Structure 1
Amino acid sequence: MTISLRAGLMLATATLLASAPALAQTSKLDEVLKRGRLVLGTGSTNAPWHFKSADDKLQGFDIDMGRIIAKALFGDPNKIEFVNQSSDARIPNITTNKVDITCQFMTVTGERAQQVAFTIPYYREGVGLMLKADGKYSDYASLKAAGSSVTVSVLQNVYAESMVHAALPQATVDQYDSVDLIYQALESGRADAVATDQSSLAWHMTQNPGRYKDAGYGWNPQSYSCAVKRGDQDWLNFVNTALHEAMTGVEFDAYAKSFKTWFGKDLPQPQIGFPVEYK
């Protein structure tokens, strides 16, 4: 074979390979179905999202979301393995395939979206103000009108004061280094209101019916989503479908029951007819 003929054959072969479709990679969806259980990364110390019951079983809203996905996969919400992980392991455990998915009150940000693929949001978080039911102030309007007379307790962090002042510009801000202490400040009268996550506020009120109330104002919205490894559209599409139908379709009763359990609120039934999410 001449050099020119050999070169021509090599060029033709390279052209064919370049134009041939890439071999399809197996989706995480197929892997999970073959395994027979979902491996979900989450935490165990943050009520009402993920925490241990008296009999040492994981429970919470994130846990229920995982069971909804497992039911969509296998028709059985119990075909799930929980991997207890710290907050800083949420992304590494996805990228290294230690878990199939993370559902752990994870705030969606552009920076994180460069590392993992986020599902559709399953909860919209924000900051709220909790008052004592028999306290001096009845609602947000009365707190704001009181100006500098109001003291708000909040968990200590670098943004705490500016966060509170975004809602109550003149309020005195008292920062504490634990969640228990911010509630104790309200209970003892050292604070007139507690600034905390809306979900924590709802959970605290659910656990203490009639003792506290929501001031009726929320701010600093952020989305909570589950996260999966980038580059697997089939798996992402499947999880999105499972979550979407839990919030708007066939599994709504399971989602609504969980929401009522952990946040104490009844959700309205999804509107029948034209899908409202496309308006």
Structure 2
Amino acid sequence: MAKVLPALIGLFVSFGWVGAIVSLPPLLRVTAAQASMQTQKLRIAVKDNLQPLGFRAADGSLQGFEIEIARRLARQLSHNPDALELIPVSNQNRLTAVLNGEADMAIARVTATEMRSRVVVFSVPYYLDGTALVTKDASLRRTWDAARRRIVVLNGSNTLAIVRDRLPQAQLVAVSSYQAAKQVLDQGQADAFAADASVLTGWVKEFPEYQVLSPLISIEPLAIVFPKGVAHDPLRRQVNQLIEQWHVEGWLEEQATQWGLPWQKQLQLEPNRNP
């Protein structure tokens, strides 16, 4: 665990987001924003269709790794587990829900990028996601075994450029949806599918004949989204303190493992090589 937290902080320092990891002095931890939350609900935008991060169980309740983070934030910020409103959002409106004031923050598999930081502010990362390959071909045991094989990617996704860069000799097959990707794989028209490791974790739970290959092709920090502005800084800093505390305690790793997400053993990048 000691190796992971410095790596998380280092990613933000490399983007110039040093201010995102500044902790509040003890005397400033009880703020007006926190006092307000003790009487008002904390509104958090989440995913409801992305297993195992945020999805609906058979009874309709929201579950998942990010849902647990949202619930613990509500408990520790307001001391009231009921002071929480979960707002399901699509990928298209994850940021706009925060920018338009519909949600106080978003925990919805948002990768912290320099481009996005121009319009919103990020917390320190709570998880390192990345691009991975999934396959049911038993001859593929490691990511690099697919270097010259046919790999399915979602059309218009960032994954396409990542795979081209890391596995330049692979033959890419672009499709429009996850359903189409599975169809191509099942018909033997491709050997592997490249997508977010967190998403592929849910994929193999639903389709156990598939396996996720290691190591990850890329690493992307997932962070909580806040609106810009000094009025939102106290809440963001309190959230940063809690995330850092959860990393040290091992709670985030424990939750990720519980939901089947890869942690340290797959958060290792191998050198870029062209077999």
Aligned with 2:260 (options 258, 263, 277)? 263
Instruction: Give the match for residue 190 of structure 2.
Output: 191
> C-alpha separation between the residues in 1 aligned to 2:173 and 2:146?
15
Contact 1:119–1:227, Cα closer than 8 Å, also in 2: yes
Please give the TM-score of this superposition, normalised by the length of structure 1: 0.73
Mapped pair 1:107 → 2:106: no
> C-alpha separation between the residues in 1 aligned to 2:36 and 2:119?
21
Deviations, residues 40-75 of structure 1 (Å, cap 9, x unaligned): 122322222222111111122221110121121244
Q: Structure 1: which amino acid aligns with 2:211?
A: K
Deviations, residues 68-122 of structure 1 (Å, cap 9, x unaligned): 2112124454431112233333333323432221111112122322332211111
Question: Alignment length, in residue pairs?
Answer: 233
Larger Rg: 1
Give the alignment of 1:94-243 within 5 angstroms.
Answer: 94-132=98-136, 135-144=138-147, 147=148, 150-157=149-156, 161-209=160-208, 211-230=209-228, 231=230, 232-243=232-243
Please give the TM-score of this superposition, normalised by the length of structure 2: 0.74
**% same residue:** 23
> C-alpha separation between the residues in 2 aligned to 1:72 and 1:129?
37
Query: In structure 2, do the counterparts of structure 1 residues 160 and 208 end up closer, same or farther at CA, with 3 Å as the change threshold?
Result: closer
Contact 1:28–1:100, Cα closer than 8 Å, also in 2: no
Structure 2: runs of 5 or more not aligned: 1-30, 266-275
Q: Structure 2: which amino acid aligns with 1:122?
A: Y
Query: In structure 2, do the counterparts of structure 1 residues 266 and 51 end up closer, same or farther at CA, with 3 Å as the change threshold?
Result: same
Secondary structure of 1:191's counterpart equals coil
Secondary structure of 1:40's counterpart equals strand
Q: Structure 1: which amino acid aligns with 2:47?
A: G
User: Which gives a bigger RCO, structure 1 or 2 (Cα 8 Å, sep 6+)?
Assistant: 2
Q: Structure 1: which amino acid aligns with 2:184?
A: A
Secondary structure of 1:240's counterpart equals helix
Deviations, residues 215-247 of structure 1 (Å, cap 9, x unaligned): 223223222111223313321111111222222
Query: In structure 2, do the counterparts of structure 1 residues 241 and 52 end up closer, same or farther at CA, with 3 Å as the change threshold?
Result: same
Secondary structure of 1:153's counterpart equals strand
Q: Structure 2: which amino acid aligns with 1:90?
A: R
Q: Which moved more, 1:88-97 or 1:180-189?
A: 88-97
Give the alignment of 1:18-167 within 5 angstroms.
Answer: 27-35=32-40, 37-132=41-136, 135-144=138-147, 147=148, 150-157=149-156, 161-167=160-166
Structure 1: runs of 5 or more not aligned: 1-25, 269-279
Q: Structure 1: which amino acid aligns with 2:51?
A: A
Deviations, residues 134-162 of structure 1 (Å, cap 9, x unaligned): 53333233323xx3xx2111111265554
Q: Structure 1: which amino acid aligns with 2:194?
A: A
Contact 1:165–1:171, Cα closer than 8 Å, also in 2: yes
> C-alpha separation between the residues in 2 aligned to 1:216 and 1:105?
21
> C-alpha separation between the residues in 2 aligned to 1:264 and 1:215?
13
Query: In structure 2, do the counterparts of structure 1 residues 155 and 95 end up closer, same or farther at CA, with 3 Å as the change threshold?
Result: closer
Secondary structure of 2:216's counterpart equals strand
